[in-house]
Amino acid sequence: MAKTVKIKVFRYDPDIDKEPHYETYEVPYSEGLMILDALNYIYENIDGTLAYRWACRAGQCGSCAVIINGKPKIACRAALEKEEDVTITPLLQFPVIKDLVVDLERGLRRIERMRPYVERVKKAPRPEIMTAEAIEPIKEFRECIECWACISACPAVAEAWQEFSGPMYHAKFARLQFDERDVEDRVKMAFIEGLYKCTTCRACVEVCPKEIEIPEKAIEKMRAIAVRTGLGPLPGHAEYTSRAIKFGRTVDKIGTSLLEMVQTGYAARVKNPKDTVGYFPGCLTDYRLQEVGKAIIEILTKNNIEVIVPSEFTCCGSPLIRAGLVDEAKENLVPKNVKILEGLGVKTVVTGCPGCGMTIKRNYPELIGRELGFETMHVSQYLARNVDLNVNDMTSVNVKATIHNPCHLNRGLGAPDDLENVMSKIPGVKLVEMEEADRCCGAGGGVRAGERSISMMMARRKGEFIINSGAEACVTQCPFCYIQIRDILKQLGYEQIKVYDLADLMVKSYRGEKP
Amino acid sequence: MAEGGVNAALGNVDPEDSWESHFKDTVKGGAWINNQKLVETLTKEAPERILDLEEYGALFDRTPEGKIVQRPFGKQSYRRTCYASDRTGHEFMATLVEEVRRRDIDVMEEIFVTNLLKTNNTVVGAFGIEYKTGDFLVFRAKATVLAAGGTGRIYKTTSNAAQDTGDGYAMGYRAGASLIDMEMFQFHPTGMVFPESACGRLVTEGVRGEGGILTNINNERFMKRYDPRLELAGRDVVARANATEILEGRGTPHGGVYLNISHVDAHIIEDRLKTMLRQFLDTGVDIRKEPMEVAPTAHHLMGGVMVNEEVATDLKGLWAAGEVTGGIQGGNRLGGNALAGTQVFGKIAGENAAKYAQNVEKPSIDLAQVKKEIKHAQSSLERRKGIRPVQVRTKLANLMWDKVGIFRTGKELQEAISEIGRMQMEEIPRLYATGKGTRYNHEWIKTFEVENMVLTAEMMARAALMREETRGAHYRKDLPKTDNKNWFVNIVIKQENGKMMFKKVPVVMTLLKQGA
Ligand SMILES: Cc1cc2nc3c(=O)[nH]c(=O)nc-3n(C[C@H](O)[C@H](O)[C@H](O)COP(=O)(O)OP(=O)(O)OC[C@H]3O[C@@H](n4cnc5c(N)ncnc54)[C@H](O)[C@@H]3O)c2cc1C
Ligand code: SF4
Ligand code: SF4
Ligand code: FES
């Protein structure tokens, strides 16, 4: 018999049904089938009452977006996987008309309100001269097909759509701002529509059928203009950004820093090292989470990797860049770090902070106008990909734990599975799944500092997922996520759920300590 | 949705270009049966309409001097096709939607129009159903513009969207308008063949415009055998060449021919053919490195509702524009001319309809007609058993592909016509929707669409049987010669006393004598 796939579909006709329910259909599988084909199959062969939208079946009209196993996607370009059962639900944020068809009116009205067209004061010259360079920054945004997938995926929109219109709208603001023909102040409009509420989690990029880089190319670029015109950054950003510019750290020093605790400037001694890496601790690890830093060095050493810790470094600039202080980061921080890190003479620099990693890897080359002389990796990425992990020296930690996958690791550095891969190798870890392990905790993008209330709403949802998972511990590997999650679990009265940086847990396993 | 580009003799890349040259290319390309008055308007006004779009905010790709860039398209004397990567149609729509928002024009979305309404032989609006609620709507209008697009969905393999079901032709016909050139249907030479899910999806002519090469399984650049213009010959020629290679056993494993662009710089492909790159990457083919497999796909109806230079139909109160109209593209449309047509004639239609509306009273609606529409709409909901629209559509789409396709014969056309006749009699009256609710019941809506498809198919097949020669996209295997003595005419269809009547009318010529 031909292989079939089970498709579970959200069904709801408000005229008839008391409440929504799911129906499961079996659809024959063949290579290259898309989710839209499956829906068509169901409509054509099983149930003619199924309501869903489609038109072009070529990824061009944007009408067919639905949520597929939790991720909003356009159905005509989402492949049906052979071995996988599928659940299909309607887009979030919109009322359901029927089944998978939602009423977009609220979203459309909001587009109209933003005056989404090139506003001119003078009559356009005919023909109009515009260079290829002038249209280059806008072209990408023009590809948007208004499929609403990003709106449905955005964690900030999910908490407070009134306050933050969301990625698609901000792509439109940016498109108009960067269009030299448009005379409106789109930065101000974007500011009012929540420019500083985006956590730069990249959930929108992940689902966008046109892969539009909204956080990097719209939000952060618009924040940079907001800063230049005095609208940004927010009061909550002032203290740590100016501290970073003045002292090279976003936080002030309490007690002994990591750099003062460990051997710096040359490699930690390992016999017959398999590799030598540079280690970039980042502000929070140096001044607040020193134990995590020490653990990372110890773990690498246990795996026969030589580690060079620079004797000095400055803040990577991420907190500044995310807040729009790009010029400041470019001037005061970036060149210094580039010199230090390239001076280490290593092929690979690892960091335990995904924010630092993403910034060095993605932003530095653009800011200095050339590629870097080394590869940047998050430590879990490095351990998962470049190291044959030493499990012989590990002892059982015996903990029921769940994973929070940091956005800037998962989507920023493009490493969705590495954290789990490494963690699953630690003996005694009983992994339990939480709902949406890759959902943003709300800490990033300067949102925790600048927009505390929406940040905590996102955190609360994360906290609830962690609690519902039944885990005794939540493991992550990002100083920002770590602090955010610890805070929210405490606020929710679940301090007994421990929060670990992966390095913490792993080093305990090597040391034979019980967590 | 249109991809490759739009023709306008701006002369930005080739300064020698002119509207006259565009005119000549269009008429020649159309196998001489275009209405030359309409072609004149098209080619003269296209440049202005492109600049309009730019004024509204459109972003076309640029020349080094900062003007709109133009690429070569099939059968055109100069590089004339303006584009925004390979998503030109999307750029058009995005821009027009923005302009509609700027002017705060009221738009009602997801309304299905079932028929035009008439009073005293004048079109006075339309009857429709709102998807969201299933409510019936009567539009009372001093002037109506028909712009319902094409009908590719009557074929099994098509580049067209789900909504391209020939509603406009059928509504026009039922209201008593004349239709012209309904036998002239264009098969685009290059549609995807694999996987099945992608079958028919368009591979834009832009690929060939940027240097794409067609080869068969023997690695032969077979277009050499068919036309000196090779890959940039007319669409009809390339489509038939591709089909012939496949039929004669020189096709690829998936039943296509190879289209290769991998010799072109990767960054050019990434920039100018971004949609194609993605569309093939989805199926595991990297067009920067490997050839595509392609085969003809049903694409565009050249014929349609007949209009004059004012784009008025022969019904009072009704104008028409876009693919729903006929006469402009003749026997074969040049790639890039459809988009140009939508802008040129859309503007004229709107202006003339508005002018007319200012000078007439608000018409009255004939309630008997409205009741008839309601009754018709309710019948397929009330019916408990019968035949589902998808069943009819599947049968029709196969029939049209097999018998009213790229290659036609009198015998097969005859067979198609009798089968269509049977469907009209036996199946259309039994159409029903499984669900009985009116809220977003798209199977219900599809009952109307299928009815329209069958009617459109009938017009196409019967006109094709009538035209006893080969011309443009209409290729009769049994009559492979062009017969200018008897068939240098247009075929016009009109409903008279409930019957489908056909007549030959002389071609409207202005500037170019045939063969000149
Ligand atoms: C894949 C593809 C690529 C193409 N590429 C090009 C190109 O590069 N250059 C070029 O010049 N041409 C191209 N064409 C052709 C061109 O896109 C079409 O001819 C043109 O878009 C038709 O425009 P239109 O406004 O007449 O109809 P459409 O754009 O089809 O609009 C018709 C509208 O009417 C609505 N409608 C239909 N029936 C009803 C009803 N009963 N009630 C209510 N509403 C209804 C439809 O939903 C639709 O919104 C391409 C076509 C396709 C399919
Ligand atoms: S990056 Fe995250 S928070 Fe920002 S717009 Fe995209 S989805 Fe929303
Ligand atoms: S930005 Fe991308 S995901 Fe969002 S609406 Fe546009 S195309 Fe869809
Ligand atoms: S059907 Fe048009 S984008 Fe999917």
pLDDT tens digits, residue range B312-345?
999 999 999 999 999 999 999 999 999 999 999 9
Contacts of B4 in chain A (CB under 8 A): none
CA distance A157 to chain B (A): 24
In the 8-state DSSP scheme, what is residue B112? E
A59·B98 Cβ contact <8 A: no
Ligand with the closest atom to the CA of B305: 1
Point out the residue among B68, B90, B162 whose CB comes nearest to the CB of A60. B90
3-state SS of B212-257 is CEEECCCCCCHHHHCCCCHHHCCHHHHHHHHHHHHHCCCCCCCCCE
Rounded to two decimals, the pTM is: 0.96
Q: Of the bound ligands, which one is closest to the alpha carbon of residue B114?
A: 1
Distance (angstroms) between ligand 1 centre and the Cα of A124 equals 28
Residue A266: its pLDDT value, please?
Answer: 79
Question: What pLDDT score does A351 carry?
Answer: 98
Q: What are phi and psi of B370, to 5 degrees?
A: -60, -45
Residue nearest to atom 33 of ligand 1 (CA): B148
Q: Which two tokens stand for residue B280?
A: 């093939």
Secondary structure (3-state) at A419? helix
Considering only CB atoms, which chain A residues are within 8 Å of B96?
Answer: none
Q: What is the ipTM of this complex?
A: 0.95
Atom 2 (ligand 2) nearest CA: A201
Judged by CB atoms closer than 8 Å, whether chains meet at A49 and B443 is answered as yes
Q: How far is CA A232 from the centre of its chain?
A: 22
- Packing angle of the helix pair B36-56, B19-29 (nearest 10 deg): 120
Q: Answer whether B102 sits within 8 Å of A13, measured CB to CB.
A: no
pLDDT, position B430: 97
pLDDT tens digits, B342-351:
999 999 999 9
Catalytic residue among B80, B208, B388, B476: B208
Number of helices followed by number of strands (H, E) in chain A? 25, 15
Q: Are B5 and B83 contacting, i.e. CB atoms less than 8 angstroms apart? A: yes
Measured between beta carbons, which residues in chain B are less than 8 angstroms from residue A172? none
Question: Which CATH fold topology does B109-184+302-495 show?
Answer: FAD/NAD(P)-binding domain (3.50.50)
What element of type H or E holds A51?
none
Q: Is the pLDDT of residue B1 over 70?
A: no
pLDDT at position B121 is: 93
A262 touches chain B (CB under 8 A): no
In whole angstroms, what is the distance from residue A417 CA to residue A420 CA? 6
Q: Find the residues whose C-beta lies inside 6 A of ligand 4.
A: A 54-57, 59-64, 74, 76
Distance from the A256 Cα atom to the nearest Cα atom in chain B, whole angstroms: 51
Q: Where in chain B is the domain with CATH 3.90.700.10?
A: 190-295
Ligand located closest to B445 CA: 1
Structure tokens at A9: 């579909």
Can you name the residues that pair with B316 across neighbouring β-strands?
B122
Tell me the pLDDT tens digit for each residue of B15-43: 999 999 999 999 999 999 999 999 999 99
**Domain B190-295 grouped into CATH 2.170.150.70:** no
Cα(B183) to centroid(ligand 1), Å: 19
- What is the model's pLDDT at position B515? 64
Based on the residue annotation, tell me whether B208 is a catalytic residue of this protein. yes
**Per-residue pLDDT tens digits of chain A, which is 515 residues long:** 578 999 999 999 999 999 999 999 999 998 889 999 999 999 999 999 999 999 999 999 999 999 999 999 999 999 998 878 899 999 999 999 999 999 999 999 999 999 999 999 999 999 999 999 999 999 999 999 999 999 999 999 999 999 999 999 999 999 999 999 999 999 999 999 999 999 999 999 999 999 999 999 999 999 999 999 999 999 999 999 999 999 999 999 989 999 999 988 877 678 889 999 999 999 999 999 999 999 999 999 999 999 999 999 999 999 999 999 999 999 999 999 999 999 999 999 999 999 999 999 999 999 999 999 999 999 999 999 999 999 999 999 999 999 999 999 999 999 999 999 999 999 999 999 999 999 999 999 999 999 999 999 999 999 999 999 999 999 999 999 999 999 999 999 999 999 999 999 999 999 999 87
Separation of alpha carbons B136 and B113, rounded Å:
10
For Cα atoms B166, B167, B172, give the angle at the middle one, nearest 5 degrees. 105
* Residue B379: Cβ-neighbour burial (10 angstroms; 0-12, 13-18, 19+): middle
Sign of the dihedral through C-alpha A289, A290, A291, A294:
positive
User: Helix, strand or coil for residue A492?
Assistant: coil
- Cα B294 to averaged position of ligand 3 atoms, centre (Å): 29
pLDDT tens for each residue of B457-498: 999 999 999 999 999 999 999 999 999 999 999 999 999 999
For atom 1 of ligand 4, the residue with the nearest CA is: A57
Q: Where in chain B is the domain with CATH 3.50.50.60?
A: 1-107, 109-184+302-495
Give the per-residue pLDDT at A475: 98
Residue B59 confidence (pLDDT) = 95
Nearest Cβ partner for A58 among B84, B85, B201: B201
C-alpha dihedral sign at A468, A471, A474, A475: negative
Q: Is the pLDDT of residue B357 over 80?
A: yes
- Which residues of chain B make contact with A139, given a CB cutoff of 8 A? 59, 84-85
Q: A203 alpha carbon to ligand 2 midpoint, in Å?
A: 6
Among the partner residues A16, A56, A60, nearest to B437 by beta-carbon distance:
A16
Q: Is B275 in Cβ contact with A60 (below 8 Å)?
A: yes
Q: Which of B152, B4, B156, B2 is nearest to B71 (CA)?
A: B4
Catalytic residue check, B254: no
Which of B57, B91, B434 has its CB closest to that of A117?
B57
Q: One of B188, B288, B467, B474 is an active-site residue; which one?
A: B188
Close Cβ partners of B136 (under 8 Å, ≥ 6 residues apart): B127, B128, B129, B373, B374, B377
Per-residue HEC secondary structure of A321-384 comes to: HHHCCHHHHHHHHHHHHHHHHHHCCCCEEEECCHHHHHHHHHHHHHHHCCCCCCEEEEHHHHHH
Residue pair A106/A94 in contact by the 8 Å Cβ criterion: yes
Predicted confidence at residue A267, as pLDDT, reads 74
The answer to whether the Cβ–Cβ distance between B99 and A97 falls below 8 Å is: no
**Nearest alpha carbon, ligand 3 atom 8:** A147
Chain A residues within 8 A of B197 when measuring between CB atoms? 32-34, 37
Distance A494 CA to ligand 3 centre (A): 37
A111 touches chain B (CB under 8 A): yes
CATH superfamily name and code, B1-107: FAD/NAD(P)-binding domain (3.50.50.60)
Pairing mode, strands A498-501 and A473-476: parallel
Q: Chain B residue with minimal CA distance to A58? A: B201
Q: Are A241 and A328 in contact (CB under 8 A)?
A: yes
Closest chain B C-alpha to A265 CA, distance in angstroms: 43
Instruction: List, as ranges, residues 302-341 from A with C-beta within 8 Å of B.
Output: none
Q: Measure in Å the smallest separation between the Cα of A115 and chain B Cα atoms.
A: 7
**Mean pLDDT for all residues in chain B:** 96
